[in-house]
């Protein structure tokens, strides 16, 4: 197995009165090109790359590195906050989706050449 890619649904957090609709998000990990980092692709071709261990830590306790912050939200949700020059995006995921993705990344190994 080489790259791991998983599609998920997440909620963009806003200050609107009603819950925002779920949006498609792609989670990607490639042990051959960057074994310490994961990629999160948000709608509109916004890609965030950060340390895989940041994602793992953020599922248990608030964690931050650079422009990315992750923290648990109750027992079944996790929140990711992405900062850029254009503003801040806050996205809420089901924790089990992120855990499933992390498990797949740890079982991925580079293809022997």
* CATH number assigned to the domain covering 4-107: 2.30.31.20
Phi and psi at residue 47, in whole multiples of 5°? -115, 135
- Check: CB of residue 8 under 8 Å from CB of residue 97: yes
**Where do the structural domains in the chain lie, given as residue ranges?**
4-107
The residue-averaged pLDDT of 25-29 equals 96
Taking only the tens place, the pLDDT of each residue in 34-51 is 999 999 998 887 899 999
Taking only the tens place, the pLDDT of each residue in 54-112 is 999 999 999 999 999 999 999 899 999 999 888 888 999 999 999 999 999 999 866 55
pLDDT greater at residue 29 or residue 86 = 29
Task: Give me Rg for the CA atoms of the chain.
Answer: 14
pLDDT of res. 63: 98
């Amino acid at each position: 197995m080489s790259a791991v890619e998983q599609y998920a649904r997440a909620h963009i957090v806003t200050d609107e009165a009603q819950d925002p609709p779920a949006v498609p998000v792609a989670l990607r990990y490639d042990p051959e090109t960057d074994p310490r980092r994961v990629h999160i692709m948000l709608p509109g071709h916004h890609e965030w790359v950060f340390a895989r261990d940041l994602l793992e830590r953020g599922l248990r306790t608030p964690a931050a590195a650079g422009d990315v912050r992750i923290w648990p939200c109750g027992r079944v949700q996790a929140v990711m906050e992405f900062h850029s020059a254009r503003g801040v995006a806050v996205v809420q995921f089901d924790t089990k989706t992120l855990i499933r993705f992390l498990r797949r990344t740890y079982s991925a190994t580079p293809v022997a050449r």
